[in-house]
């Protein structure tokens, strides 16, 4: 595995983009900022596997943490609740 682009604790933002076809990044976290909670490793790219391709090159998959307040806006003030989502490297940028 190549060394991952982000390390645990680093701040990241999910790309606020769209592209046609199968994507694994939920709508509600796009454009939201969080942190790398864990690096899972490299996996075949599901966005290519979805079309019968080999899924190479592999993409690094991260567990990304978000404050619920960041995700939903209207979340109760003072809440410490967190949300964790699996997100592939190409959907993340430094924040």
Partner 1 sequence: MARRHHDLGGLPAGPVDQTEHALSDWEILADAVNQALGEKKIKRTDEMRRAREDMDSELYRALSYYERWIASMETILTEKKIFTSEEIDRKVAAFEKKWGEP
Place of tokens 């796009």: 30
Q: Closest separation between CB of residue 10 and partner 1, Å?
A: 24
Handedness of CA 44, 50, 53, 57 (dihedral sign): negative
Q: Closest separation between CB of residue 48 and partner 1, Å?
A: 8
Angle at CA 29, nearest 5°, toward 78 and 55?
145
Q: Closest separation between CB of residue 73 and partner 1, Å?
A: 10
Q: Are 60 and 42 in contact (CB under 8 A)?
A: yes
- Return residues touching partner 1 (CB under 8 A): 16-18, 21-22, 26-28, 30-31, 46-47, 49-52, 71-72
- Which of residues 10 and 23 has its CB atom nearest to partner 1 in the complex? 23
């Amino acid at each position: 595995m190549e060394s991952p682009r982000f390390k645990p604790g680093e701040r990241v933002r999910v790309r606020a983009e769209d592209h046609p076809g199968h994507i694994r990044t939920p709508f509600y976290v796009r454009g939201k900022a969080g942190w790398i909670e864990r690096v899972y490793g490299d996996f075949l790219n599901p966005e290519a596997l979805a079309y019968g391709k080999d899924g190479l090159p592999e993409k690094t998959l991260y567990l990304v943490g978000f404050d619920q307040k960041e995700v939903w806006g209207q979340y109760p003030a003072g809440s410490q609740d967190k949300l964790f989502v699996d997100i592939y490297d190409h959907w993340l940028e430094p924040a």
